[in-house]
Amino acid sequence: METVTLPQVHRVGGLIGAELRGLDLTRDYPDETYAAISRAWAEHGVIFFRGQPLNEAQREAFAARLGEIRVRQEVRKEPEQTKAIGEGWHTDMTCFDEPPKATILFAEAVPPWGGDTAWAGMGPAFEALSDGLRATLTGMRAVHANVRKLGYSYAQTDPPEPSVAEYDAAEGPVHPVARLIPETGRAVLYVNPEFTTRFEGWTRRESVPLLSYLFTHGTRPEFVTRFHWEPGSIAMWDNRQTWHFAVNDYQGERRVMHRILLAGSKPQAAG
């Protein structure tokens, strides 16, 4: 009988993140191996692999074992560019009815210093709130709109700050503020600074104080892990329960990553 190879899971933070070792991702493993990877990723929010310089076909094959591929993108910053994609806390595309379940980022070329990515865990962030605020947020819903990107070319120019009226008028899906992660039964905070514009039934002005509190709370250092990339590093994050931030501190250097987003479903309310 074939023995199943399972990854060794080494936590990197107390509350978020784990590095998985002992696999060669150019190989195809039995389903149990991918099930273990998916479990680690739902449990730790973000997982990392090192020393896996996959080519395009290998990246696709690996991603396809973990979910349905929706989007493939190159995330590139050339030495003369000043803006980087993702330099602000966000969750990918929550302005969709069915936001991506997960994102996989593969490092091809990395700067000699800097260029890290940070993730914040919305499971621990939700659990650290008071019973009263958790009870208030559970059952609330919020609008997620792409209002800050209107008429703005990603990574090339600064987006103008929309007016309060534009925020109030911006349309987008309404998602639960406390989201259930079905695999673990965990309730997580499901708002993010990029796309959450206001609470359902509340104006932008009414929403801003509570949203600002949550956006500050969500990035407390104990909820955050930061990864230093090497060529061949891979990060996979659960886009349902994390925010991430690409640190743009390597001006004059080149960074090339490949990103695959996996299909998600309509967020399910916790509670």
Residues known to be catalytic:
90, 92, 244, 259
| Mask for 20-49, x = binds ligand SIN (CB under 6 A) | ------------------------------
Tokens representing 47 are 């997982």
By the rule CB under 6 A, 91 interacts with ligand SIN: no
- Residue 234 token pair: 């891979």
Closest separation in Å from C-beta 107 to ligand SIN: 9
Q: Based on the shown chain and the rule CB under 6 A, indicate whether residue 94 belongs to the binding site for ligand SIN.
A: no
Q: Taking CB under 6 A as the rule, does residue 234 contact ligand SIN?
A: no
Compute the Cα dihedral for 101, 146, 91, 112 and give only its sign.
Answer: positive
Distant-in-sequence, close-in-space partners of 6: CB < 8 Å, separation ≥ 6: 22, 32, 33, 36
Question: Residue 107 interacts with ligand SIN (CB under 6 A)?
Answer: no
- Residue 4: name the closest of 25, 26, 31, 27 by CA: 31
Structure-token match 């998600």, residue found: 264
DSSP state of 43: H
Q: Which of 93, 178, 211, 257 touches ligand SIN (CB under 6 A)?
A: 257
The verdict on 86 binding ligand SIN (CB under 6 A) reads yes
Which residue is it, tokens 């978020």? 16
Q: Does 267 bind ligand SIN (CB under 6 A)?
A: no
Residue 133 has which token pair? 């605020």
> Residue 198 in contact with residue 80, Cβ under 8 Å?
no
* Contact between 218 and ligand SIN per CB under 6 A: no
198: its two tokens: 């206001």
Shortest Cβ distance from residue 87 to ligand SIN (Å)? 8
233 belongs to the binding site for ligand SIN (CB under 6 A):
no
Which residues in the 110-129 window bind ligand SIN by CB under 6 A? 117
